A and B are shown apart, each in its own frame.
Chain A
């Protein structure tokens, strides 16, 4: 089957999931906001543009202003970029790490597998959010330390998933054939097996972006975000104490997180339906 056909086929199956279509639409909207937002809403989200505590639904500040008079809408638009950036980069790092460890463990098996799986289990046992807090606090909150911390606590499930796939795929004929042909292990791992294991990895990855965004927002909420980046979690965290007087400051950024994460989950499910029609539907 040709690439075009495959794509159409994929789309046919994806389309069947109505939620996934909605999710995709929302996600496209969020992505567009992240990419174009700063052009459509030029300016600095940190600017104290108006009087503090302005209520929403006002022509000048549709979503109101925060405790220092910053425009909430502006913060949400600019925050989209930060949240998605952290979500995708952290996921990429975690998936890369998981794929490498998982494929090595699954491919070689035996002692290597045993050791790597103990290592993975070890990281799975550490209470992940506590660990992330410690890492970020100790290494000073910044985009880099947050991404690193999220990646470090997120890779183990990927490693297990990839290992599982490799364990099954390793025994397949085409792999055995390559072994007989004397291909290098690296070639077999990355060229022969990995492409066949890519579907579940994509599904897991799309769901992990959602989780990463949630972790970042929780860290920022606790005051461990990058202080030079306007992120949604930061907006809620700094508005938490004024909840009673100014609900809008925490409501709107929370809604933004909810919609984005929801969209990512729906897309993940759609991908799951389209890519692994036979697999169960439990993310993660």
Chain B
């Protein structure tokens, strides 16, 4: 802090208010300290290449790295690549890698590892990365620290595909020529990240320790990170309150506990760090069956859903009302679309128009809703949906099942309505188009266009927008897409999810990017108090 000789009382007061934060910002980050974080559920594996579950991404994000990271406004930032260029024609991507990077086993990291990862490893094991990597015509390593991707056609979202859970770089010397999924090395992950796996006591905790050979000098600051497996939501709150753990993220803390924890002096709340994932929850209609195949029915349902209630009472204010298929933190979002505020009259009018009259019991039509098996909050959402639609004469029967049962019904199109929640992965071409284009209607495949929406104009716009180069042109196409889809209501978009990240104030720089707690934590440091 700059020193001044004379302080007015007002300035002094202002300073005192600022005091708690001021010393830390001025202070040089110091080595040392152990962060204890919640992890829930327990990750299935730490080999981030074969599992893209969030828990795996959180823990393994400290062990493995990718070429880039992304800021909270989704601009690429250096990762293993210190710089990158895109050619004029949008087809050549050149990445320059950091030098003197070593794998955890001491072997040097080179451009060959990137080539192996992109051309062999990811294409075999990573379903989300495969279609992106397959766009490359060639991947070459002109020298130890340079990788060049030549694409078959321009694909602007290519630059968005390089965060650790979308494209983790794995060591060629360990995986080349082996069975990637069964390789015993998956139990002892070898990455380039700032932390190494020390011990994993299943059902209890994962212990990561500082990588002393990390390529960024002086980093990481922390000595160790513990990830505590706490499957019980009540236990997680206690752990944060009492300081037994210092960090919670995603759905660790139930929404209704947020106001209480937020008021605790030792905790800091942020909802940043989820911009890349950009999760959205919606009500999905199977468009093959009546009455869901009628647009008026879907609009009627949309008008009957009080999304303020969903945001305020179910998510306790953690979220933004979704206006359409693209999340507002994702490029090419356009707010200028038709709106569907709560309007029971309009809803009933539409149902009347369809000829769905109320019977003597007040019921117009009966529909089954498969509840999303992702925990209590989605159960409550299903219960709310049932009550909300009952008001306009739609009787909903809720069906619950385990993840396998739900997945089977949805991917085989054997459902009427369900909720879904999905990430948009930094770009509409990576996370949004897959849900609406005709070519992605694939029976038996989850997270494809399962509800069977098909519209030639939408297909055309999505495919043209993905390979276009001129920014204004791209935006125009995405805007048109959003207007058409919102008009059509292939699904009823409910909420852009916000997640509460609670950080114990002893720790700084925990969330610094758009990938949030899945980032590598090289900059996290502890403040002595």
Contact = CB atoms under 8 A, between A and B. Distances in A.
Interface in A27-46: 44, 46
Given A140-B401, A140-B405, A242 B256 contact: yes
B238 A245 contact: no
Interface residues of B, number: 29
A138 B408 CA distance: 12
Contact of B234 (A67, A141, A244): A244
Interface string A218-238: 000001000110000000001
A52 interface: yes
Given A46-B386, A68-B313, A241 B380 contact: no
A241 B254 contact: yes
Given A68-B383, A244-B238, A227 B399 contact: yes
A133 to B, nearest CB: 10
B400 A69 contact: no
A47 interface: yes
Contact of A141 (B238, B376, B400): B400
Interface in B385-403: 386-387, 390, 397-402
Interface in B293-310: 309
A24 interface: no
Q: Is the interface of A mostly helix, strand, loop or mixed?
A: loop
B400 A67 contact: no
Given A48-B384, A53-B256, A223-B379, A241 B314 contact: no
Contacts of B234: 240-241, 243-244
Interface string B175-201: 000000000000000000000000000
Contacts of B380: 67-68, 238
A79 B386 CA distance: 18
Given A244-B237, A244-B238, A227 B371 contact: yes
Contacts of A48: 309, 313, 384, 387
Interface string A10-29: 00000000000000000000
B233 to A, nearest CB: 4
B260 interface: yes
B256 A228 contact: no
A48 B380 CA distance: 11
A79 to B, nearest CB: 15
B382 interface: yes
Contacts of B256: 52-53, 67, 242, 245
A227 to B, nearest CB: 4
Contacts of A223: 376, 379, 400
B353 interface: no
Nearest to B373: A223
Nearest to B382: A227
B387 A46 contact: yes
A238 B256 CA distance: 13
A135 interface: no
Nearest to B260: A245
Contact of A69 (B254, B257, B313, B376): B313
What is the interface residue range for chain A against chain B?
20 to 34
A116 interface: no
Interface in B237-254: 237-238, 254
A48 B234 CA distance: 24
A44 B390 CA distance: 11
Given A68-B313, A68-B314, A227-B399, A241 B383 contact: no
Given A46-B383, A227-B382, A228-B398, A52 B313 contact: yes
Interface string B256-279: 110010000000000000000000
A202 B232 CA distance: 40
B254 A140 contact: no
B236 to A, nearest CB: 9
A114 B402 CA distance: 38
A137 interface: yes
A140 B399 contact: yes
A137 B400 CA distance: 9
A243 B236 CA distance: 12
B266 to A, nearest CB: 17
Contacts of A228: 386, 397-398
B262 to A, nearest CB: 13
A119 B370 CA distance: 37
Contacts of A53: 256
Tell me which of B232, B260, B314, B383 has the highest count of chain A C-beta atoms within 10 A of its own C-beta.
B383
B313 A227 contact: no
A160 B196 CA distance: 58
B379 A238 contact: yes
A47 B401 contact: no
Contacts of B401: 137, 140-141
A243 B376 CA distance: 14
B401 to A, nearest CB: 5
A197 to B, nearest CB: 40
Contacts of B379: 223, 227, 238
Given A48-B387, A140-B405, A238-B376, A245 B398 contact: no
A44 B388 CA distance: 13
A60 to B, nearest CB: 18
18 contacts: A46-B386, A47-B387, A48-B384, A48-B387, A52-B256, A68-B313, A68-B380, A137-B401, A137-B402, A223-B379, A227-B382, A228-B397, A238-B376, A240-B234, A242-B254, A242-B256, A243-B234, A245-B256
Given A44-B390, A140-B399, 11 more contacts: A46-B386, A48-B309, A48-B313, A48-B384, A68-B314, A68-B384, A141-B400, A141-B401, A227-B382, A228-B397, A228-B398
Interface of B: 232-234, 237-238, 254, 256-257, 260, 309, 313-314, 371, 376, 379-380, 382-384, 386-387, 390, 397-402, 405
Interface of A: 44, 46-48, 52-53, 67-69, 137-138, 140-141, 223, 227-228, 238, 240-245
Across the A-B interface, give the 9 residue pairs with the lowest CB-CB distance, nearest first: A241-B233, A227-B398, A227-B400, A140-B401, A137-B402, A241-B254, A243-B234, A141-B400, A241-B234
